[in-house]
Structure formats: C-alpha cells, structure tokens
Amino acid sequence: MSSQASETVLTVRGLGWKLNSQPILSDIEFSLAKGSMLGIIGPNGAGKSSLLRCLYRFIKPTSGKIHLFGQPITALSAKAFAKQIAVVLQDTPHHFEMTTTQLVSLGLTPHKGAFEFTNADDREVVAQALIKVGLADKANQAYESLSGGEKQRALIARAIVQRPQLLILDEPTNHLDIRYQIQTLELLHTLNITVITSIHDLNLASALCDELLLLDKGRCVAKGTPKAVLTEQRIGEVFDVCCEVKPHPQHGNPLISYFYGYEPRSKSHHGLEEGGKDV
C-alpha cells in the first residue's frame, strides 16, 4: 500500500480514555492517509487494544475526537459506520454451524436491506473474496474445521466483502506460526484498503507497515516510518530490552536483533558487559 495518498481517512486528536478514573490512554494524536498501513506497537499494557476499541466504537473515549473523512464517528449510524469500517479481532469467533462461505457472506450485511436476500452479484463478490485470500477450495468446508491461519484469512475475506474504507485488526497474527503471520500481513498489503493493525512482532511491523505508532503506558511515544520509530535507544527505553538495529538485507527497514542473559539497564545496548566482555 502507498502512504503517499493525500486524502486523510482518519484523524485522532487529544484522545483519552479512563477506566475507573485510571488513565488508560492519554492525549493520543495521529492521522492516517488513504491507502496506508499503520502498525500499532508497544509492550503489553501499553493501550494498543484500548486504542483500537475507541476507533471502532466498542468503548467511548473520555476525551478527544475521532474523525472519519472529516466527520465525527459518533455522528454515524451503526449501519453507516459498518459500511466504512470493518474489524477483525484478535480471537477468532466461534461459528459452529457455518461454512466458510456463510461466514464470509456476513460481510454483506451492512449493504443489504432488512428483507433483502443475496443475489448472484453478492455470491460473486463472496467467491472473489475467497479467491483473494486463498480459500476458494475451503468454501463449503465448516468454518470451525479451518486452521488458525485459515480462520484469520476467512475473517479478512468477510471484511473484504464488507467493502470498508478502513480495516482495523487487533493482533491478527497472534497465535499463528511465522508462515501465516507473514502471509496475513502481506495479504493486507494487496487489498487496496487503508489498514490499522496492532502487531506484537517488531520485525514484522518494520517489514510490512508503512508507518508505526508506538505506545507506552497509554501515550504515543513516536509515530513515523519504521526507520524513524524503531531505534535502539527507543526500543530499549520502551520495551526494556537490549538490541541492535540494522537495515534488513531485503527491504532496508530496521531489522532488530535482541541480546539475552543479562539485565538490560545495567549493560550497554550492544550486549557487552561493562568490562567489555561478550555476554
């Protein structure tokens, strides 16, 4: 996806959220260009999922504003919102009685009237979405029988059928093996949809996101390209680890190597003891 498009899809200003008077998010600000892929990164408890829940209206922010194409998201009806934003959550839902095709067809719901049935065009849209995510051969298979990676791709196919302007994903690669992690994020790049996704793996985020938003303790620490955000000093400060950052030999974005077996704050960030010996 290109991050060079000039149209702004999403604008977040002064976003804050408190739970039982405890600040969880504070003064979050960023904007998102059409066609770009933004990765939300940060340690556990940084507020990644809470931020996404604010964006897809699962929780109501305590302060701040969220605009979609210049319009407050609070002004949109549920159906209008569903036409604009699709969501894929971290844990795949259980749909015991559904085939893969039936699951993907749920993406048609925002575009259909109360008593309107699916037609040949709808079925073609669903079939094309299954082809795009590589699940055409699983169309009539029970959704529950799919592997974890296949279920995640089916949910992305459902989002494709929804035809959103913005796709939000909460750690879509969680619990997947490395092959499916890479496939899932590479798939998102092919969709021609603006994407926000939280990602645990910093190297995956570096390789496959146009921009990154780094959260720590509910605040935005940095936002920009992977090269600008993923520095040794910043990773050390936020994640409390020692690492070395070099350009990846394939794509040139940061490649992070971690050092092991010592307390990060008492050793140099290149993995040497204070006396100069290798750990």
The neighbour count for residue 196, using CB atoms within 10 Å, is 26
Same domain, 279 and 194: no
For residue 93, give the DSSP letter: P
Residue 1, in any domain of the structure: no
Q: Are 218 and 26 in contact (CB under 8 A)?
A: yes
Q: Are 161 and 108 in contact (CB under 8 A)?
A: yes
Structural domain count of the chain: 2
Q: How far apart are CA 95 and CA 114, in angstroms?
A: 22
Average pLDDT score over the chain: 89
Residue 204, in any domain of the structure: yes
Domain of 121: which CATH number? 3.40.50.300
One-letter amino acid for residue 193 of the chain? I
DSSP-assigned beta bridge partners for residue 39: 197, 212
Same domain, 255 and 156: no
Residue 154, in any domain of the structure: yes
Q: What is the pLDDT of residue 117?
A: 78
Same domain, 96 and 123: yes
Residue 91, in any domain of the structure: yes
Same domain, 147 and 27: yes
Tell me the per-residue pLDDT of 191-247, one tens digit each, with 9 for 90 and over. Answer: 889 999 999 999 999 999 999 999 999 999 999 999 999 999 999 999 999 999 999
Same domain, 181 and 252: no
What is the token pair recorded at 67? 């605009």
DSSP 163-209: --SEEEEESTTTT--HHHHHHHHHHHHTS-SEEEEE-S-HHHHHHH-
Same domain, 46 and 183: yes
Q: What percent of the chain has pLDDT over 70?
A: 89
Q: What is the pLDDT of residue 250?
A: 95
Same domain, 178 and 236: no
What is the token pair recorded at 207? 């390789």
Same domain, 147 and 124: yes
- Cα-only R_g, the chain: 20
Tell me the per-residue pLDDT of 46-59, one tens digit each, with 9 for 90 and over. Answer: 999 999 999 999 99
Residue 237 lies in domain: 231-279
Same domain, 213 and 244: no
Residue 2, in any domain of the structure: no
